[in-house]
Structure 1
């Protein structure tokens, strides 16, 4: 099953969840696989194909041949339990053809096969085992990539041509010496049958993969109450040098699959080919995350006296100084609590080399004397302007916030400008030393980036452009056998 996942996800990269109904026209995420990425992907794909064909084998085939050299009018044969033990395709290439599909070319392939056989004729009848070597295998095909009616990506094999130039069979059993003496005449019908059947066999394998794709989805749980949809919006765009995939890239609260009240705008990836994979993350994707976080209350924070003490101890002025300033303005009882609420979704802004997030909210200082309800000491609105730092860690985009500016506002009848300024200094310190460490700890879970199964991102770089982020990365494939060896050694 693991090997099938590798081939499915590498071949189609991302899938569609038909449960989410959407009118979205433009992608939140763009993924570009370059020729360099396709060339490297062959390494992952070939191991996956080998594991699949070893598991599934080749369908039984039977027929009848005349053996003139034995003066036998006919020999009925049946080859069954056909298993591939090894194969090699040292020369294989994937070439995108603009607007058409991906051309797959392979030559000088070879494979070793084990099987059972039965033969019968008017003169004799027997059965046994055999080893078959096939060489000089040539394959040429065109794989068309499309989006199915249900929204899943689909692969279809067109213009398939397979030629096996060499077959060598070796029989086993009591009469193996006799059978091997006339093995060469049997190789011709084997070649004829396999050359005729291989394209239908390959087509059936692709249909099986498409069926598996249709049963999967790419709506990912992000935390406990947020969904992230990486579904495919339309058919892959194929050019002479790359394959582009347009992905939905939208966040949803769990239980509410309604699109956010804004639409993505089109954006274009720069024309580059130095990396294997380019991922464009639109401003819409980040706005969708901000909107969903706001709806679910993920930005809201309540700090108790203990939590304030834990985080504010880093403040050079000391926590005692902060509390004494508050005490000068308001007579309050202990314990102290501070509740920070976002009043609107934080505003995302992407400009060249600059990613900012403006957070509108309110801050409430409360006390909760023993055996009484919470009592508000002071409440003010604020706008916090932050810069967003970016990093690629493993397969995730990691964000971190740092405070640029903080402005408080309150009714003039209740607070003087001096009081507001003093509270700005206090709450700015609380945000910096108390709230942002909590928020950044949550952000460390990261946003999962679209990438194939068993593939890690290496040599990654991220740039901020107007309206989108651009991730440039190479890929590193860790074979299943290598992972298993590490587990065995451990």
Structure 2
């Protein structure tokens, strides 16, 4: 009996799992893949950043005590303060992917020139002055691990850190420099010992400080007055010998409503390429969620007055606005009119190889309104406007523009028997073609933000439309004088050089 009951329970559990798994499976809306070329460029840029960073960093004081047997001195207490790195060189530095682990950083044969103030105390004398310290054969290796926290923020960890400085040459300056330099060599060994004990904790401290900044990034950002974009990490990255791939949620929400859209994301696979530094895959789900969010927020409802139509069409179609206005006013007994366009469903997104289309199901109405009276619908019709979507990257944003492909119109309806409603089709078609679409394209010029850290630009970018997703292939460029602000709120404060954080905690 118990055996049969157990089988029934297991069967129910299996059916339940089969039932809920499709609803709770989450695939990314955006994938970002960094290749070995990105790491190689990161080494070059990293050296520039580190050079600026270490010159501004406060290095902990170095102190200790040593006996000087050749001077018959039991002990000499020394304290090095105001330590500054003036120059350094790491000629053999590399970054490499460690499959399933992270990114290994390696440098050897490094050198550094350091200036410092010093103070010496002993039973026989006490003095202060300056000194120069030359470090050579600097070696460092460690694995940088990228994970995520419960809020989807990226988190960095340093594992297997090993750092060592093999040689240190101290040169004292001052009135008694000849004397001090005579016993500088015995002090180099304890200096190296203390310095080597400090290096990995110092690097770990820098990583922890960076994590504090990363945890404050806004992974849900306001795009405009209609929508929010969630680009949080949904899982830890995949790492192979050739790349690291990040998985971002990539979903739009109506402003003030974080309910997921009533459709699921689907998996997609980035092509196996390595010519560019970065590949960004933007899924059809990303665009569909944007369509649904804007529709839910009412962004696709437009009402234009006679003056707005006339003014805009005069600018865009060389006098067609005046003609349409006169024709419409003739039919509507010379009363001022309004055109109202409303999407009846979220626009349909289709991404096929080389083809990005947007089908807009909507209704269009011409209304007239006399003074002190309610609006009256003169004529209305439903239509589906099929548009082609052109794409370009400007700055750090993906810009879309629509061009009308074809119409599918329903039979117009009118409550005025004296109006030949079929003659309105050309008028309404022209209003959409020369009025509504240009207005929509003007709004689309704001673009969709692409994630870019502080002072990193996307260059030599290429866009491909593939089956079910958009592929952006791009290189990266670090520019210290870049005035372009990062696309996402919070990134502008993630300044690795200054070490200052001005952001606010994410909600």
Superposition TM-score, scaled by structure 2 size = 0.85
Q: Is the 8 A contact 1:44 1:479 kept in 2?
A: no
Query: Paired residue for 2:120?
Result: 119
Q: Is the 8 A contact 2:232 2:249 kept in 1?
A: yes
Query: Paired residue for 1:470?
Result: 471
Mapped to 2, the partners of 1:205 and 1:312 lie a distance apart of 58
| CA deviations over 1:272-326 (Å, ceiling 9, x no partner) | 0001110000001101111111122222222221221123234478335434554
| CA deviations over 1:142-188 (Å, ceiling 9, x no partner) | 11222234432222212212121222222234433321232222222
Query: Paired residue for 1:454?
Result: 455
Q: Secondary structure at the match of 2:205?
A: helix
Mapped to 2, the partners of 1:235 and 1:371 lie a distance apart of 62
* Alignment of 1:318 onto 2:334: no
Q: CA 1:189–1:480 in structure 2 vs 1: closer, same or farther (change >3 Å)?
A: farther
Pairing of 1:321-340 with structure 2 (within 5 A): 321-323=323-325, 325-326=327-328, 330-340=331-341
Query: Paired residue for 2:216?
Result: 215
Query: Paired residue for 1:11?
Result: none
Pairing of 1:137-152 with structure 2 (within 5 A): 137-152=138-153
Q: Is the 8 A contact 2:382 2:412 kept in 1?
A: no
Q: CA 1:280–1:421 in structure 2 vs 1: closer, same or farther (change >3 Å)?
A: farther
Mapped to 2, the partners of 1:248 and 1:437 lie a distance apart of 31
Q: Is the 8 A contact 2:136 2:167 kept in 1?
A: yes
Query: Paired residue for 2:304?
Result: 303
| CA deviations over 1:19-48 (Å, ceiling 9, x no partner) | xxx967111000000000111122332232
Q: Secondary structure at the match of 2:217?
A: coil
Q: Is the 8 A contact 1:146 1:155 kept in 2?
A: yes
* Alignment of 1:356 onto 2:374: no
Q: Secondary structure at the match of 1:155?
A: strand
Mapped to 2, the partners of 1:65 and 1:24 lie a distance apart of 64
Unpaired runs of 5+ residues, structure 1, are 1-21, 484-490
Comparing 99-108 with 188-197, greater Cα deviation is found at 188-197
Q: CA 1:422–1:368 in structure 2 vs 1: closer, same or farther (change >3 Å)?
A: same
Query: Paired residue for 1:255?
Result: 256
Query: Paired residue for 1:403?
Result: 404
Mapped to 2, the partners of 1:354 and 1:36 lie a distance apart of 29
Q: How many pairs does the alignment contain? A: 460
Query: Paired residue for 1:434?
Result: 435
Comparing 447-456 with 274-283, greater Cα deviation is found at 447-456
Query: Paired residue for 1:136?
Result: 137
Mapped to 1, the partners of 2:335 and 2:452 lie a distance apart of 51
- Superposed displacement of residue 368, structure 1: 2.3
Query: Paired residue for 2:394?
Result: 393
Superposition TM-score, scaled by structure 1 size = 0.88
Q: Is the 8 A contact 1:338 1:364 kept in 2?
A: yes
Query: Paired residue for 1:15?
Result: none
Q: Secondary structure at the match of 2:380?
A: strand
Query: Paired residue for 1:383?
Result: 384
| CA deviations over 1:53-80 (Å, ceiling 9, x no partner) | 3333322232222222222222222222
- Superposed displacement of residue 128, structure 1: 2.8
Mapped to 2, the partners of 1:304 and 1:58 lie a distance apart of 67
Query: Paired residue for 1:289?
Result: 290
Comparing 68-77 with 91-100, greater Cα deviation is found at 68-77
Query: Paired residue for 1:102?
Result: 103
- Superposed displacement of residue 133, structure 1: 1.9
Comparing 42-51 with 349-358, greater Cα deviation is found at 42-51
Q: Is the 8 A contact 1:361 1:383 kept in 2?
A: yes
Comparing 442-451 with 36-45, greater Cα deviation is found at 36-45
Comparing 78-87 with 285-294, greater Cα deviation is found at 78-87
Q: CA 1:24–1:90 in structure 2 vs 1: closer, same or farther (change >3 Å)?
A: farther
Q: Secondary structure at the match of 1:264?
A: coil
Mapped to 2, the partners of 1:420 and 1:177 lie a distance apart of 105
Mapped to 1, the partners of 2:414 and 2:444 lie a distance apart of 39
- Superposed displacement of residue 347, structure 1: 0.7
Q: Secondary structure at the match of 1:453?
A: coil
Q: Secondary structure at the match of 2:451?
A: coil
Q: Secondary structure at the match of 1:188?
A: helix
Q: CA 1:292–1:481 in structure 2 vs 1: closer, same or farther (change >3 Å)?
A: closer
Q: Is the 8 A contact 1:333 1:369 kept in 2?
A: no
Mapped to 1, the partners of 2:65 and 2:414 lie a distance apart of 102
Unpaired runs of 5+ residues, structure 2, are 1-22, 485-507
CA RMSD of aligned residues (A): 2.5
